[in-house]
Structure 1
Amino acid sequence: MSSEEALAEGSERLRRYLEGQQVQASLIKPGSEMPTVPLAAAALGVAPAQIVKTIALEGKKDPSRVCVAIATGDIRIAITKVAAALQLTQLKLAAPETVLRVIGYAVGGVPPVGHVTRVPIVVDQRVLQYDIVFGGGGDEHHMLRITPQEIVRLTGAVVADVANDSEPPPQAGAR
């Protein structure tokens, strides 16, 4: 699949997946591109922490080994913590072509669910603080409104702390 095809059909493929799985979620199209957390948060009128980023990682020595980390938009992930949570070693950020081939969506619109290949996934525990989060909607024009519980259920994700240690701890009661 070319990047043009992925961009053209990403949100539609995600919509079909959500319907097929009977997921209580919706695709939102605010009317502007949202390839970054700050742009998505501004377009939706929510805090950056309520935007979840879906980050694909691949093995440094074995690029065919791909996994995903899902975290709130206001933190940086610690790749070593992702590796430990998923019992993997030596990970690096996946190349955009790997993300497209394995996950099925172009960087900038990768949703937290509905990937074309089932891969190990870890969800940072901070995501579960929110009743509703917004993730990539299959392209740079759509966002997915979904509960963190649905993300974990649909992906079979491990829940763990994968934030960089230099990040402040989560605030109690944030919703």
Structure 2
Amino acid sequence: MTEAISASQQRVADVLARHDIAARIVTFDASTRTAADAAQAIGCDVAQIAKSIILKAKPSQRLVLVVTSGRNRVCEKTVAELVGEKVGRADADFVRVKTGFAIGGVAPVAHIEEPITLIDEDLLTYAELWAAAGTPNSVFRLTPTELVALTTGRVARVKEENPA
């Protein structure tokens, strides 16, 4: 584990500081790109990983952020109903341009473009969560209440009920 901070991590740290959230960004030598990798590095349950899934609204091209439990898969049909237009997976270029982050390090905050944000209701059942902090090997701890406040996201049921 190292303590160096990148420009992407600094953007996240700045948002946390503006909201008086005393979260410390932790950078690991190993990747925390996937929810399983992050949970293993942190030593928490994979369900406590607040993973940021980026979708593209169609036809508006709006950025849609779904913060979901690391245990869940997002149901795109449900998300489309919630945002009022079709959505699809975003490619790496769209993610970088709209969020300023690389895939695997997308934080739930500090995006270049303000996203439409949905938060998986399952995340509210945990006392603490861990989210990406702007790079594929950094995270920060927060509570579900802090996540909702930081993102001003709408809490909803967004998971696939029977993932294939």
Alpha-carbon distance in structure 2 between the residues aligned to 1:151 and 1:58:
21
How far apart are the structure 2 equivalents of 1:118 and 1:24? 23
Deviation at 1:28, TM superposition (A): 1.4
Shift of 1:111: 0.8
In the alignment, is residue 138 of structure 1 matched against residue 134 of structure 2? yes
* 2:156 counterpart residue number: 160
Q: C-alpha separation between the residues in 1 aligned to 2:111 and 2:70?
A: 20
CA contact (8 A) 1:18 1:114 kept: no
Query: C-alpha separation between the residues in 2 aligned to 1:151 and 1:26?
Result: 15
Q: Is the 8 A contact 1:111 1:144 kept in 2?
A: no
The letter of the residue matching 1:43 is A
- Give me the TM-score of the superposition, normalised by structure 1: 0.84
Of the candidates 63, 66, 70, which is equivalent to residue 67 of structure 2? 70
* Partner residue, 1:85: 82
Q: Which moved more, 1:33-42 or 1:9-18?
A: 9-18
Instruction: Kindly state the Cα deviation for residue 101 of structure 1 after the two structures are TM-superposed.
Output: 1.1
Say which SS state the counterpart of residue 26 (structure 1) adopts: coil
1:29 aligned residue (22, 27, 30): 27
Distance apart, 1:43 and its partner CA: 0.5
Runs (5+) with no aligned partner, structure 2: none
> Which of 125, 144, 148 is 2:144 aligned to?
148
- Alignment map for 1:33-72 (pairs within 5 Å): 33-62=31-60, 64-72=61-69
1:128 matched residue in structure 2: 124
| Contact 2:131–2:140 (Cα < 8 Å) also in 1 | yes
Equivalent residues, number: 159
Q: Report the identity percentage.
A: 28
Instruction: List gaps (5 residues or longer) in structure 1.
Output: 1-6, 168-175
Q: Indicate the larger mover: 14-23 or 66-75.
A: 14-23
CA distance in 2, matches of 1:99, 1:49: 23
Aligned residues of 1:28 and 1:143 also touching (Cα < 8 A): yes
Find the aligned partners of 1:30 and 1:118 in 2 and give their Cα distance.
Answer: 28
Deviations 1:79-126 (A, max 9, x none): 11112222x221001111111111121111111122222111000100
**Aligned residue identity for 2:72:** I
Residues 103 and 116 in structure 1, CA contact (< 8 A), matched pair in contact too: yes
- Cα distance in 1 for partners of 2:108, 2:52 equals 6
